[in-house]
Amino acid sequence: MYNNQIGGFVAWDRDFGCYDTREEELFQKAMELIWDASDGDVESPEEDMGRLMGLGLDVNHVPEELGPDPLLFHAVRAKQYELAQMIILAGADVNALVSYSDETCIFESITKKDTRMIEILAKAGANLDARNTYGDTPRKLLQDENLLDVVECALADQERGIIQSALDGASINGQRQRMSRRM
């Protein structure tokens, strides 16, 4: 339902109550959820994030008044792996720039030596050759920190999984074709 007083749509959610669905409000609520989850103050953050997405949260929208960092960056910084994966699956741009240093989220995870998040971002397509304002790339920083092998192994595992899925699909289809010929 549209509310003229706030100039936006209002939705009803059993946990959030009557809720303003303007992008800024949804982003603010999602950002608070990420940080509350990192403090252990939320029972089921994935469920709550799912509800916010259901209300229309745009994971790539960054309200000017809340700073320049995308929602994914907050999940990366807070080491909220499941929330980061949800945000990525909802269409977040893993190569969106954060702050004022022209860095992407993977720079933050490399700085923290967070190998699990590095893997998540690399598998999601993070650009390892993106340059920040200092001319550094994630690939160079990973080499400097002796973490490049972590990314290469994760990407190789992912590629093996894709190839295996294709092979499994081919053999299933081959089985079906042979079965249909027999009938």
- Burial (Cβ within 10 Å: 0-12, 13-18, ≥19) of residue 138: buried
User: For the chain, what is the mean pLDDT?
Assistant: 81
Most confidently predicted of 26-40, 135-149, 163-177: 135-149
Could you read off the pLDDT of 107-121 as tens digits, one per residue? 999 999 999 999 999
Q: Any residues with CB less than 8 A from the CB of 139 and at least 6 apart, and which?
A: 128, 129, 148
Say whether pLDDT at 30 is over 80. yes
Average pLDDT for residues 155-183, to the nearest whole number? 61
Rg (CA), the chain: 21
Query: Residue 68 is which amino acid?
Result: P
Whether 9 shows a pLDDT value over 50: the answer reads: no
Query: How much is the pLDDT for 170?
Result: 59
Least confident of 47-56, 72-81, 168-177: 168-177
Name beta bridge partners: 18.
Answer: 12
What are the CA-CA distances from residue 114 to residues 40, 45, 142, 147, 152 (Å)? 19, 21, 11, 10, 15
Measured in whole angstroms, the distance separating CA 124 from the mean position of its chain's CA atoms is 8
Partners of 39 in the beta sheet? Answer: none
Residue 25 and residue 63 in contact, taking contact as beta carbons nearer than 8 Å: no
Q: Which residue did the predictor score with more confidence, 25 or 93?
A: 93
Rounded to an integer, the average pLDDT of 97-114 is 90
Task: Kindly indicate the confidence band of residue 22, based on its pLDDT and cuts at 50, 70 and 90.
Answer: confident
What is the CATH architecture assignment of 22-166? Alpha Horseshoe (1.25)
Sketch the domain layout of the chain as residue ranges. 22-166
Q: What is the pTM of this model?
A: 0.75
Confidence of residue 20 (pLDDT cuts 50, 70, 90): low
Tell me how far apart the alpha carbons of residues 148 and 53 are, in angstroms, rounded to a whole number.
Answer: 34
Q: Is 128 exposed, middle or buried (0-12, 13-18, 19+ CB in 10 A)?
A: buried
Give Cα 49 to chain centroid, integer Å: 12
Name the band, by pLDDT with cuts 50, 70 and 90, for residue 99.
confident
Q: What is the mean pLDDT of residues 65-69?
A: 75
Residue type, 54: G
Identify the residue with better confidence: 162 or 172.
162
Pick 5 or 164 by higher pLDDT.
164
Closest CA to 75 of 63, 55, 58, 92: 92
- Predicted pLDDT at 85: 96
